[in-house]
């Protein structure tokens, strides 16, 4: 399918798929959405959560699975947060259709985020080989897996899932009970899944897979989003 780079409301770029009229991020602001949904309600919630045991806090290892590595924006902003945290982050990005080098070069994330000397780390995220673990910088390792979501077979491996698939309007098969069961199995107990979607059918599919689900205020342009927890 044809893909083109567009600029979203906060000045950050994203990829638009004309055939689906769908974007890799919100048109209301790619970076704003990524921070709100995945960093604030995902990463920071997990780290500060009272549900996390004291022993866990001292271990300070956080493992994250991203459903849809895409442009690497969520990966990069998570990396940028790492230096503010005591935690080491082990990040796994799953992607079935990797973005091309020319598309990556056309994205403006390092400028928009004023990444300065950390801009080279955005390149590193994209240049490292797939299927192997790489230490991108202190406190941050990355494995990129070229894989379809239905093929994920991890068990009790992650604290957080960033569920960032294309919307249910265009890929309804990715927002089903069977996919959320794969996610539930992949999470450790007390692990969380965050997503920008707030659809009732998505919430019910998560609940049917075993999750406890809460609605939270959404990023700019969206009233609500969802966070699902694997209670036990």
Ligand X SMILES: C[S@@+](CC[C@H](N)C(=O)[O-])C[C@H]1O[C@@H](n2cnc3c(N)ncnc32)[C@H](O)[C@@H]1O
Q: Which of residues 170-189 bind ligand X (CB under 6 A)?
A: 171
Q: Which of residues 3-62 bind ligand X (CB under 6 A)?
A: 24
Q: Does 130 bind ligand X (CB under 6 A)?
A: no
Give the chain's count of helices (H) and strands (E). Answer: 9, 11
Q: Which of 63, 82, 164, 205 binds ligand X (CB under 6 A)?
A: 164
Residues 6+ apart with CB under 8 A from 44: none
Strand intervals (E) in the chain: 4-7, 13-17, 22-23, 61-67, 88-95, 133-137, 140-146, 158-163, 187-195, 212-217, 224-229
The stretch near ligand X (CB under 6 A) out of 81-89, 137-145, 161-169, 201-209 is 161-169
Shortest distance, position 171 Cβ to ligand X, whole Å: 6
Q: How far apart are the first and last CA of the chain?
A: 41
Assess contact for 162 and 67: CB atoms under 8 A.
yes
Phi, psi of 81 (to 5 degrees): -75, -25
Q: Does 222 bind ligand X (CB under 6 A)?
A: no
| Contact track, ligand X, 69-98, x by CB under 6 A | -xx-xx--------------------xxx-
Q: Does 165 bind ligand X (CB under 6 A)?
A: yes
Applying CB under 6 A, the residues found at the interface with ligand X are 24, 68, 70-71, 73-74, 95-97, 148-149, 164-166, 171
């Amino acid at each position: 399918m044809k893909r083109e780079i567009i600029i979203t409301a906060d000045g950050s770029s994203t990829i638009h798929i004309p055939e689906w009229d769908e974007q890799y991020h919100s048109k209301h602001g790619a970076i704003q959405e990524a921070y709100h949904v995945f960093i604030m309600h995902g990463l920071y919630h997990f780290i500060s959560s009272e549900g996390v045991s004291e022993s866990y806090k001292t271990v300070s290892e956080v493992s994250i699975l991203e459903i849809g590595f895409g442009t690497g924006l969520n990966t990069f902003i998570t990396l940028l947060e790492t230096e503010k945290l005591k935690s080491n982050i082990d990040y796994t990005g799953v992607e079935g259709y990797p973005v091309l080098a020319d598309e990556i070069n056309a994205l403006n994330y390092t400028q928009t985020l004023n990444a300065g000397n950390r801009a080279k780390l955005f390149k590193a995220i994209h240049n490292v080989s797939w299927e192997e673990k790489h230490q991108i910088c202190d406190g941050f390792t990355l494995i990129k897996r070229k894989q379809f979501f239905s093929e994920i077979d991890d068990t009790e491996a992650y604290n957080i899932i960033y569920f960032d698939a294309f919307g249910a309007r265009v890929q309804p098969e990715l927002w089903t009970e069977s996919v959320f069961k794969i996610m539930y199995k992949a999470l450790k107990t007390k692990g969380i899944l965050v997503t920008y979607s707030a659809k009732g059918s998505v919430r019910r599919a998560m609940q049917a897979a075993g999750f406890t689900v809460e609605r939270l205020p959404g990023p700019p342009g969206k009233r609500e989003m969802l966070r699902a927890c694997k209670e036990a």
